[in-house]
Amino acid sequence: GMIHLLRYVMASGVLKKGASYTLSFRGRASDATSKIFFTVSQSDGSSTQYFGYPFSFGTQWSDMSYTFTVTSDVVNSFLFAFGEFQGSLYVDDIKLTLEGSDENLMLNNDFETDDLSSWKTESWLTHVSYSIVTDSENSKGDSSGGYCLVFLIVRNSQMIGMHKLGMSLVLY
């Protein structure tokens, strides 16, 4: 089954039904993988739209983006799901924009401030951890800073199946 790992808790608001949004970020993995499943839904998991596997993480930092159109009401969360992957996933500079706008709807998207208060996980999920990190290995080699968010995913004999990482939005 699907196992919820982490959610970025939304403050208020929802995505606009019928509108197009682009989600973009920089990312890399400790081992190359293409099995990153993406959905949007209500925070309780209902009204889910499935977009397949639009993101492919390699071992070097790369830019990724995906544009999607919202077809349901009250959409306010993202889910990234990981199948057989285990290791570390690094993400940075997360940006969510409405078509025709440059305004980023994500807070602390570059993780330059040491604030993970909006990120939540379940206490019994011992096979995943997340933190803000910086070092020469993780540096993107550009001027946007050296901090990023890392997810450490370790497979556990009791945790078979798809692991799920949720990122909800902060909208105004």
- What is the DSSP pairing of strand 49-50 with strand 33-41? antiparallel
Query: Could you give the number of structural domains in the chain?
Result: 1
49 C-beta neighbours (distance < 10 Å), count: 14
pTM: 0.70
CA dist list (Å): 127 to 59, 119, 124, 157, 168: 21, 16, 9, 10, 21
Task: Give me the tens of pLDDT residue by residue for the chain, a chain 172 residues long.
Answer: 444 344 454 555 678 889 999 988 888 888 776 567 777 777 676 778 877 777 888 888 889 999 999 898 877 777 666 655 667 777 778 888 899 998 887 765 666 666 665 555 545 455 555 556 654 444 544 444 566 666 555 544 333 333 444 444 443 3
Give the per-residue pLDDT at 20: 94
Tell me how far apart the alpha carbons of residues 35 and 53 are, in angstroms, rounded to a whole number.
Answer: 6
Angle subtended at Cα 8 by Cα 84 and Cα 106, rounded to the nearest 5 degrees: 115
Give the per-residue pLDDT at 21: 92
Give the per-residue pLDDT at 165: 43
Give the per-residue pLDDT at 19: 92
Here the CATH number for the domain that contains residue 131 is: 2.60.120.260
Look up the domain containing 48 and give its range.
2-168
Angle subtended at Cα 76 by Cα 40 and Cα 53, rounded to the nearest 5 degrees: 15
Give the per-residue pLDDT at 156: 43
Residue pair 105/96 in contact by the 8 Å Cβ criterion: yes
Give the per-residue pLDDT at 68: 92
Distance of CA 91 to the CA centre of its chain: 8
Tell me how far apart the alpha carbons of residues 136 and 89 are, in angstroms, rounded to a whole number.
Answer: 16
